[in-house]
Chain A
């Protein structure tokens, strides 16, 4: 038995002006599924959707629809329909003619068109609006017409490009429920693009988390929330405490300078890892026997359903905790975490590694700059070297011109007692930095590295 994948995406890549927007994307979509492409702006999710719709041709790879390659087929011949971000309702046509547009092109008999348009209007609760001009509709109503216009053609797949982004919060919540209901009624495969993680969790059967043109994780909302595979996913989906840890052995992990039982296996012994604990998974207790570590409440804010508290642990870490009961600021509390709620993740890297060339005995050319280094036995001018720099040894400076290379803070995660930053240099190198200083995403920084912090080895080729 072959698969029941309605869409199969194989090795899809796309660059715009030398920048790789999509990098070797592979995944499949099951028939009837509600799948969401989720990621921050610029992650490539919209480009991917537009390639499926046919507006952008892939550089490499192919898109199979029911087993047939549709990469070379123009949009108007693809049995897919799109709901556009800004609706793109035709301003010169009324609601009825907007919805009937696709059917008229297919030369469906007028009687049949009328039947189907009316049915769709009913489905999106817009009966009696057929003669209205689209300009006279509210954002939510325009959205409904856009959905009806796409669905009336009974597409094999419905593509939705951030369809709720322009609506206000209350309206968005209502439309989310309606979309889910429409999906259930129609049984059509939905591919949904959003940067709103909550929306993705609410709506989807499957979520594809993307960042920088790559798929980070594919899974059900529950999988993605409970078992993020890396810091990016953990940070992007929901609130989380992300902490540096060390796997002691199977089912035993150290973080916050304490040891905890956990359920993860197969990481090896004494291996550096990242640990995610959701704020709602840290529990207060009054039983000293259950207490795993102590902390002092630093702040407590009412958030509606729960209280959000920041606590300082006895070992000097800051943690976010969500609980239904408030604890007074300044109070000493006892805390514990269930082994099930500790999510251990492989570290993507533990240090910076770069290739470079020696300029002379004490200077190495790497990352588009010349860094001073300590003289090394047997390494001289012109030698190719590998440089290793620990995260905490990279200095970030306020002014770009003060650094050996200039960069921009691209991504950052708070890890309880320090920040972990990704800095992108002007020559598009990535430098990972651990620092206690507070930086914001988008800050322009100079990058410096002390000579003694650069560990050089000669490359053997």
Chain B
């Protein structure tokens, strides 16, 4: 008779090899110089290098902009999809969600080709367009999920207490769907910070994002500095996810 806890062994090995080990390696490399001695210079270099800092600031800016646009466009879309009067078919939902299943790189390349075809100059505008296009399903889906699950009696109770449909939306629907929005923010904001392929293809490398410089450092064998940058990014991602940690919002938001 094998103890039941042994069943988790394969997963444990997987976790160690593919999650824990790389993280440990990142931290190790980040605090080592080329010859393997402990150092803080990699981290210090980031905070003293204005180029890196600017790229970092730009990445955060683009990520915030992308997230905001995704909320502004995605929330109404999710609301319409979840509204049984406006949308009676599951196919429409599928159409919105389907891009999630297609490789992001492929979609990005296709978008770049479209811009080229119409002779649109690549730059920040095209970058944002591509990002919104890539990430908006990740915003729509959790919001749609939470709106679908929301008990209609809250809206009815508000209406019963004198709230017009507009007031019901702002005072009940929006606050109660916040866990879905937070879920969407996590799904959109964090990947955008670390993205590099989209900026490469949609700006012809004119705009560099934080992900781009990590990639460049690693590609040119500057592993230690690259690891330090990756470590900083991990911290940022960790901090963002803390915002979402209150209550059991993931459970309600679906998706993650």
Chain A positions within 8 Å of B, measured between CB atoms, are 53, 55, 74-77, 80-82, 84, 86, 88-92, 101-102, 105-106, 149-150, 153
Contact A92 B161 (CB under 8 A): no
Residue of A whose beta carbon sits closest to that of B160? A82
CA gap between A153 and B160 in the complex, in Å: 11
Starting from the known contacts A75-B159, A76-B159, A101-B161, 14 additional A-B residue pairs (CB-CB under 8 Å) come to A75-B156, A75-B160, A80-B160, A84-B156, A86-B153, A90-B154, A90-B176, A91-B154, A91-B176, A92-B178, A101-B158, A101-B163, A105-B163, A153-B162
Q: A84-B153, A86-B153 are in contact. Are A76 and B160 (CB under 8 A)?
A: yes
Residues of B close to A81: CB separation below 8 A:
160-161
> Judging by beta carbons under 8 Å apart, are B176 and A105 in contact?
no
A90: contacting residue among B159, B172, B178, CB under 8 A: B172
Complex-state Cα separation, A76 to B164, whole angstroms: 6
CB distance from A248 to the nearest CB of B (A): 55
**CA–CA, A77 to B165, complex, Å?**
11
Instruction: Judge whether A53 and B160 touch: CB under 8 Å.
Output: yes
**B175 within 8 A of partner (CB):** yes
Q: Choose one: A53, A88, A105, A106; the contact of B154 (CB below 8 Å).
A: A88
Residues from chain A with a CB closer than 8 A to the CB of B158 are 90, 101
27 contacts between A and B (CB under 8 A): A53-B160, A75-B156, A75-B159, A76-B159, A76-B161, A76-B162, A76-B163, A77-B162, A81-B160, A82-B156, A82-B160, A84-B153, A84-B156, A88-B153, A89-B157, A90-B157, A90-B176, A91-B176, A92-B176, A101-B158, A101-B161, A101-B163, A101-B171, A102-B161, A105-B162, A105-B163, A150-B160
Residues of A within 8 A of B159 (CB): 55, 74-76
A54 to chain B, nearest CB (A): 8
- Is A92 a contact of B175 with CB atoms below 8 Å? yes
In whole angstroms, how far apart are the Cα atoms of A106 and B160 in the complex? 13
Least CB distance, B54 to chain A, in whole angstroms: 40
Asked whether any CB of chain A lies closer than 8 Å to the CB of B88, the reply is: no
CA distance A81 to B157 in the complex (A): 9
User: Taking CB as reference atom, which chain B residue is nearest A85?
Assistant: B153
7 tightest A-B contacts by CB? A102-B161, A88-B153, A88-B157, A92-B175, A105-B162, A75-B159, A82-B160
Q: Which residue of A lies closest to B151 (CB)?
A: A88
| Min distance, Cβ B171 to any Cβ of chain A, angstroms | 8
B124 within 8 A of A: no
Q: Which residues of the other chain, A, contact B175 by a CB distance below 8 angstroms?
A: 92
Residue contact A105 to B156, C-beta cutoff 8 Å: no
- Does B167 make an interface contact (CB < 8 A)? yes
Cβ of B1 to closest chain A Cβ, rounded Å: 43
Write out the residue numbers on chain B whose beta carbons fall within 8 Å of the beta carbon of A89: 157
Kindly list chain A residues whose C-beta atoms are within 8 Å of the C-beta of B164: 76
A81 to B163, CA, bound (A): 12
Chain B, residues 185-204, CB within 8 Å of chain A (1/0): the string is: 00000000000000000000
- What is the bound-complex CA distance between A101 and B162, given in angstroms? 9
Q: Closest Cβ of chain B: how far from A263's Cβ, in Å?
A: 47
Residue of B nearest to A79 (CB): B162
Q: Name which of B153, B164, B176 has the most chain A CB atoms within 10 A of its CB.
A: B153
Task: State A138–B158 Cα separation when bound (angstroms).
Answer: 22
Chain B residues near A102 (CB, 8 Å)?
161-162
Q: How far is the CA of A65 from the CA of B232 in the complex (A)?
A: 66
Min CB gap B191→A, angstroms = 28
Distance, CA A84 to CA B172, complexed state (A): 16
- Closest CB-CB distance, A171 to chain B, in whole Å? 21
Which residues of chain B are within 8 angstroms of A75 by Cβ–Cβ distance? Answer: 156, 159-160
Nearest CB of A to B64, in Å: 25
> What distance in Å separates the Cβ of A430 from its nearest Cβ neighbour in chain B?
34
Whole-angstrom CA separation of A101 from B175 in the bound complex: 14
A81 and B164 alpha carbons, distance in the complex (Å): 14
B residues in contact with A101, CB < 8 Å: 158, 161, 163, 171
Residues of A within 8 A of B156 (CB): 55, 75, 82, 84, 88
Residues 135-185 (chain B) with a chain A CB within 8 angstroms:
151, 153-154, 156-164, 167, 171-172, 175-176, 178
Complex CA gap A84/B176 in Å reads 18
Residues of chain A within 8 A (CB-CB) of B167 are 105
Q: Please, how many angstroms separate the alpha-carbon atoms of A373 and B148 in the complex?
A: 55
A389 to B153, CA, bound (A): 48
Q: Please measure, in the bound complex, the distance between the C-alpha atom of A101 and the C-alpha atom of B154, giving whole angstroms.
A: 12
A337 to B167, CA, bound (A): 63
How many angstroms from the CA of A343 to the CA of B142 in the assembled complex? 61
Docked CA distance A80–B161 (Å): 8
Mark interface residues in B110-131 (1 if CB within 8 Å of A CB, else 0): 0000000000000000000000
Residue from the set B154, B160, B167, B171 with the largest chain A CB neighbour count within 10 Å: B160
Cβ A149 vs Cβ B161 within 8 A: yes
- In the bound complex, what is the Cα–Cα distance between A90 and B62 (angstroms)? 35
Complex: chain A residue closest to B161, CB-CB: A102
Which residues on the A side are within 8 Å of B171 (C-beta)?
101
Q: How far apart are the CA atoms of A143 and B153 in the complex, in Å?
A: 15
**Which of A74, A75, A149 has the most chain B CB within a 10 Å cutoff?**
A75
A90 to B178, CA, bound (A): 14
Q: Which residues of A have CB within 8 Å of B162?
A: 76-77, 102, 105-106, 153
Nearest CB of B to A429, in Å: 33
Shortest distance from the beta carbon of A17 to any chain B beta carbon, whole Å: 15
Q: State in angstroms the CA–CA spacing of A105 and B160 once bound together.
A: 11
Q: Closest CB of chain B to A142's CB: distance in Å?
A: 12
B153 to chain A, nearest CB (A): 4
Q: Which residues of A are found within 8 Å of B172, using beta-carbon distances?
A: 90
CB distance from B173 to the nearest CB of A (A): 11
A-side contacts of B163, CB under 8 Å:
76, 101, 105
With the chains together, A75 CA to B167 CA distance in Å? 13
Interchain CA distance A91-B175 in the complex, whole Å: 10
Contacts of B160 in A (CB 8 A): 53, 75-76, 80-82, 150
How distant is the Cα of A74 from the Cα of B166 in the complex, in angstroms? 13
- Residues of chain B with a CB closer than 8 A to A92's CB: 175-176, 178
Bound Cα distance from A101 to B159, whole angstroms: 11
Which residues of chain A have C-beta atoms less than 8 A from B153's C-beta? 84, 86, 88
